[in-house]
Amino acid sequence: MTYSMPREQGLQLLRHMLRIRRFEERAAELYQLGKIRGFLHLYIGEEAVAVGSIPSFTSEDAIVATYREHGHALVRGTSMGTLMAELYGKATGCASGRGGSMHFFDASRRFYGGLAIVAGGLPVAVGLALADKLQGRARVTGCYFGDGAVAEGEFHESLNLAALWKLPVLFLCENNLYAMGTALARHQSQTDIAAKAQAYALPAETVDGMDPLAVETATRHAVEFVRNGNGPYFLEYRTYRFRAHSMYDAELYRTKDEVAEWKRRDPIMTFEQTLRTARLLADTDLQNIETEIATEIEDAVAFAEASSWEPVEQLTKNVCTPKT
């Protein structure tokens, strides 16, 4: 990695990656304690993708993500406290506790989930982009999904429609090589995902998803391209999930060696090294960042703990919009 960014911006990338990592490590502990339940899909190992890409979107743009969305919401700016409260299921959570880990939402940041049906977000993103186009707004919709989604019909239908109608949507495929336990090569005849997108006449690019700088550069260009009215764009980030698919699985589908090999490319470790080599990061900087994050996490956990449960009397609240 050659470094080509102002120091503060680089530190910000590192800070965000560490925020995600530490937040999720804490969430995993809280899961063991029974504070968090249901499914908890960790993003650990893939942080460079959200951290390098999300800041390319303005606050006017829209984000659609999956059930592995903790990192995206954190970088988008939703407060860690409301995210932690959501993991707890507390009323102060970013979805009033109704959704939990898989369903983060934040209307004020145009964050449309947290959607847990694989590929279910793509058609929605196409529609958000259609609305912008019809209303003449120069906004972009960023749609994140995994390599598994590439197999669904909705992936193909959405790419086709977006390209056909020249809609301002950026497709962001987080290719971590596995859909649960099924390796890409075991579920795709064509494993070059960018090539599939090109088949729908979409400009598409493959990016090193373990390198936040590469992610940043590629995403910034792609967002610009879409915002300038050139129609949709497709990015495939090559990345890797270090943990199990959800909290536990037997990991029968991959070897320990393979995981260890990818861990050598840990985006936090390697980027830290890049910054040090460029003499932009001193031990004290790192300590300060870690201290800040530790405080943020403690505050978030305290907030979640102190928050109240939604009263059962409100069980059927928000099923329909109240008539005024």
Ligand X SMILES: Cc1ncc(C[n+]2csc(CCOP(=O)(O)OP(=O)(O)O)c2C)c(N)n1
Say how far apart CA 18 and CA 267 lie, in whole Å. Answer: 10
Q: How far is the CB of 107 from other proteins (least distance, A)?
A: 17
Site for other proteins in 89-118 (CB under 8 A): 89-90, 97-100, 102-103, 115-118
Measured from the CB of residue 258, what is the shortest distance to Mg ion in angstroms?
A: 14
Nearest approach in angstroms of CB 252 to Mg ion is 16
Structure tokens at 191: 């494993």
Q: In the range 178-217, which residues lie near ligand X by CB under 6 A?
A: 178-180
82 belongs to the binding site for ligand X (CB under 6 A): no
Q: What span, in angstroms and rounded, lies between the C-alpha atoms of 234 and 197? A: 7
Please report which helix (H) or strand (E) contains residue 7, including its range.
helix 7-32
Running DSSP on this structure, what letter comes out for residue 248? -
66 lines the binding site for Mg ion (CB under 5 A): no
Residues in Cβ contact with 185 at an 8 Å cutoff, skipping those fewer than 6 apart: 191
Q: Quick one: which H or E segment has residue 143? A: strand 141-146
Give the list of residues 6+ apart from residue 93 with CB closer than 8 angstroms, or none.
82, 83, 85, 86, 87, 99, 304, 307
Tell me which residues in 132-161 interact with ligand X (CB under 6 A): 146-149
Task: Single out the residue of 146, 209, 212, 232 in contact with Mg ion (rule: CB under 5 A).
Answer: 146
Residue 111 — φ and ψ, nearest 5°?
-105, 105
- 20 interacts with ligand X by CB under 6 A: no
- 265 contacts which partner out of ligand X, other proteins, Mg ion, none, CB within 5 to 8 A by kind? none
Q: What is the CA radius of gyration of the chain?
A: 19
Identify the residue among 69, 132, 147, 211 touching Mg ion (CB under 5 A).
147
Residues in the interface with ligand X (CB under 6 A) total 13
* Chain length of the chain: 324
> Residues 228-257 vs ligand X: string with x where CB under 6 A?
-----------------x------------
**Residue list 192-251, contact with other proteins (CB under 8 A):** 249-250
Please tell me whether residue 137 binds other proteins under the rule CB under 8 A: no
Footprint of ligand X on this chain (CB under 6 A)?
68, 116-118, 146-149, 176, 178-180, 245
